[in-house]
A and B are shown apart, each in its own frame.
Chain A
Amino acid sequence: MTTSTNLPGHPQVPNLSEVPGSILGRDSAVNKVLLRRSAAVRRARYSTIKIWVGAICAGVVIIPVVLANVLPLPDPIVGQLSESSLPPFSAGHLLGTDPNGRDLLSRILHGGQTSLVIGMLAIFVSGLVGIVAGAAAGYFGGWVDTIISRLLEAQMALPLLLMLLLVVALFGPSIPVITLVIAFAQWPEPARITRALVLVEREKPYVAAARVLGLPKFSILRRHVVPNILQQVLVVVLLLLAQAVLLESALSFLGAGVQRPYPTWGGIISDGRELFVTGKPWLVTVPGVAIALLVVGVNLVGDGLRDRVRRAKGDQA
């Protein structure tokens, strides 16, 4: 839809905004209200709503987590036993304390730093590996494709969580190990999507043109094909951040996360699990809310962006 009001040769077209209830200068039954209600406009608006709601949800968690070292918070590791198990909204402890007298807010924010660092590093690695492997499989085909596709299938059949627990037990629960383990769990998704997109993309005329111009295969892939699909893949990689945070919390919940006394989200909930029966449910509920808010936020932003990218590519779903 063009919004230009001064088309050359058509100076009589008035400014749209000055003509109530009409478009393109003539009276029309399609007024602005109807336009705003139309499916296409609504879809655009809904994806904007998703992105904003998501950004707010994620921001509420991410901003305090990033600022945790600057904020005046009690120490997350050393508590005061005189202040053990305080309920939320106690003096000096907004979210209360755990049985060791450690401030829950401080533990959640510092734990969030671990989760976010691991999550970001993991999606960087899995995104990079997935895009490279998927692009190679899709573009070169043949035995490259066979090997990568078989690897993807094989991983589907494995009891993944068990393997991850084993590997963490093997190499120790340090941040690099947990990061790589999560990246290993996640690389199939960007790989599969990149492969599918490249399969479509490589049949397009511009690729043939580049080939005719004598560009080597690798530079066609790197400089022409991949940039055209990157946007769609990066949305998927962003959505992986949500998965990574969930997986990290699940691993620490099962005891394969960064070890105590350093706080992690899954670890805090795991520590609280024996306690909620004794009437201290906030030790379980509050850290979970932090995880859920962050993950909902990332998912909403990713989903909204995906709607937009899909619309730009002319997909109706």
Chain B
Amino acid sequence: MLTYVLKRIGQTILTAFLAVATVFVLLRMAPGDPAANYAPPNPSSAQLEAIRQQFGLDQPIPVQFWTFLQHLFQGDVGTSFFFKRPALAVVLERLPYTITLAVAAIVLTSIVAIPLGVWMARRNNTSRELGANIGTIAGQSMPDFWIGFVLLILFAVNLKWFAPSGFDSAASIILPTVTIAILQIALISRLVRREMVVNLASPYLTVARSRGVSERALTWRYAFANAALPVVTALGTRFAAMLNGVVIVEVVFNWPGVGELVVNALKQRDFPLIQATVLVTVLLALFVQLLVDLLYPLMDPRVRLGEASA
């Protein structure tokens, strides 16, 4: 168990390192001079050169990378070009907003998608199930930014129930959450349905039914208990992916999370900030993934960690 966790933590760090290294190189190969974004208007070449020197961009890329690594091991991810503050601090300031949004979205998804999926499995091959099925397909077919705009037009512009963007009260989280959840509900409920259909048709269910177990217990204590593992995996993976930034939804709603931060940082070529965001979010996402994997043996005693990943 301990070796497993240690091995996974090692893999996590390695993956995060590779991700940051890839981004580091890509950023420096990309066209566009960051110095131009931070110089006064119509800068002289000497001014630009001074800024490049200040940012350390005058060095060759391998040297820059080596410096970056040295600082990284001292816990310093660099100073944001734009904010003139430690990039890590900027990211950590924004992170709670993204986490809040991700938690809200995953909770809403679970509350709706699991009962919906179970219902669809129990009503399999009825015309109402076909309706719900087509509905979930529609749910995963709409661009999320468009759903966001439609919700904004309906509820913020026309009905004026919510402020159109940003974060100014607890209610501002509702529209972005719903926007994210529509897609996730569609995906997760279909997974729940598929798993439940298989389990509801299993012989062990017939045996239990013949022993007089109630339909409710058959559905939840028997079938769902066995269907839950892949569902939890999927929810965990989805949640982890959201931590990488629900970029588009944050942009649509001007939500002050890391996704919005990173899109602006890309536009401003704020290299340290982008690197810090990638480092933090990738580490966090992998950590969540590890937690989900550690949940398995608790949910299903047949699972032994280490063997499962082999």
Contacts and interface: CB of A to CB of B under 8 A. Distances in A.
A182 to B, nearest CB: 14
A42 B124 CA distance: 10
Contacts of B237: 156
B194 interface: yes
A43 interface: yes
Given A276-B149, A281-B153, A317-B197, A300 B30 contact: no
B137 A246 contact: no
Interface of A: 39, 42-43, 46, 49-50, 53, 154, 156-163, 165-167, 169-170, 172, 242, 246, 249-250, 253-254, 266, 269, 273, 276-277, 281, 284-285, 287-288, 291-292, 295-296, 299-300, 303, 316-317
Contact of B281 (A159, A163, A170, A242): A159
A273 B201 CA distance: 48
Contacts of A316: 197-198, 201
Given A157-B282, A269-B145, A292-B143, A163 B23 contact: yes
B291 interface: no
Interface residues of B, number: 53
Contacts of B23: 162-163, 166
Contacts of B248: 161, 250, 253-254
A157 B286 contact: yes
A303 B137 contact: yes
A43 B129 CA distance: 11
B134 A266 contact: no
A89 B247 CA distance: 35
Interface stretch (B14-22, B46-54, B95-103, B299-307): B14-22
A169 B266 contact: yes
B30 A166 contact: yes
Nearest to A287: B146
Given A276-B157, A281-B153, A285-B153, 19 more contacts: A42-B126, A46-B125, A158-B19, A159-B282, A161-B245, A166-B26, A166-B30, A170-B31, A246-B143, A250-B143, A250-B145, A253-B248, A266-B145, A285-B149, A288-B143, A288-B150, A292-B138, A292-B141, A296-B137
Interface of B: 15, 18-19, 22-23, 26-27, 29-32, 124-126, 130, 133-134, 137-138, 140-146, 149-150, 152-153, 157, 164, 194, 197-198, 201, 237, 244-245, 247-248, 251-252, 262-263, 266, 274, 277-278, 281-282, 285-286
A288 B19 CA distance: 33
Interface centre among B164, B194, B245, B266 (most CB of A within 10 A): B266
Contacts of B153: 276, 281, 284-285
Main secondary structure of the interface of A (DSSP, over half): helix
Contacts of A253: 143, 145, 248
Contact of A53 (B31, B134, B150, B286): B134
Contacts of B278: 159, 162
B26 A159 contact: no
Given A285-B150, A316-B198, A292 B137 contact: no
Contacts of A296: 137-138, 141
B22 A288 contact: no
Nearest to B285: A157
Contact of B266 (A46, A166, A250, A276): A166
B273 to A, nearest CB: 12
B146 A284 contact: yes
A180 to B, nearest CB: 15
Given A157-B15, A159-B245, A299-B137, A269 B146 contact: yes
Contact of A281 (B125, B126, B143, B157): B157
Given A166-B26, A167-B26, A50 B134 contact: yes
Given A169-B31, A254-B248, A288 B142 contact: yes
B7 to A, nearest CB: 14
27 contacts: A39-B125, A50-B133, A154-B15, A158-B22, A159-B282, A160-B244, A161-B244, A162-B23, A162-B278, A166-B266, A169-B30, A170-B29, A246-B143, A250-B144, A250-B145, A266-B145, A269-B143, A276-B149, A276-B152, A277-B164, A284-B149, A285-B149, A285-B153, A291-B143, A295-B142, A295-B143, A299-B141
